[in-house]
Amino acid sequence: MKPSNANLPPLRERKGDIPTLARHFLKIYSDKFGKPLKGIDKEAMDAISSYQWPGNVRELENVMERAVILEDADVIKTDSLPFVNPPSPMGTDLKSVPMGNISIKKAEETLERELIKKALGMTNGNKTKAAELLEISHRALLYKIKGYGL
């Protein structure tokens, strides 16, 4: 029989558990993805420890999985934490957009195509993991891949 978590306080009330859990998930996903990450730098750990974790332990696990996938260095840095640096649409600087080409539809398609390519590259072509990173269903990803001819 599984133990009940009904009496366990939310993660935001157990700040002391956060670093241990973050390192635990780092180890799991470093091993899973074959990325020998050495740890979490101080700035990133401070950000992780001070975040409110509305999604509780499951959100922390997802953030650490994504950070392991995104991190290019040998330690997790704040750049890989989505709640510190939320993804912004490419080209938010409107000066870079040619004046004759301000179609939202075309820009949206370009952005979507590039994000799909990046997610597939980061997951070595694993469409299920790519869909998770993109926060869309597997089916939606397959439809978009077919539609864009990727």
pLDDT tens sequence across 121-148 = 888 889 998 898 888 899 989 998 888 8
Question: What whole-number distance in Å separates Cα of residue 105 and Cα of residue 58?
Answer: 34
Give the Cβ contact number of residue 102 at 10 Å.
Answer: 10
Kindly provide the residue ranges of all beta strands, DSSP E only, lying in the chain, ordered along the sequence: 39-40, 75-76
Has this prediction a pTM greater than 0.85? no
pLDDT tens sequence across 28-69 = 999 988 888 999 999 999 999 998 888 889 989 989 988 888
pLDDT of residue 4: 54
**Domains in the chain, CATH or no CATH each:** 11-80 (1.10.8.60), 101-148 (1.10.10)
DSSP 90-113: TT--GGGS-TT---HHHHHHHHHH
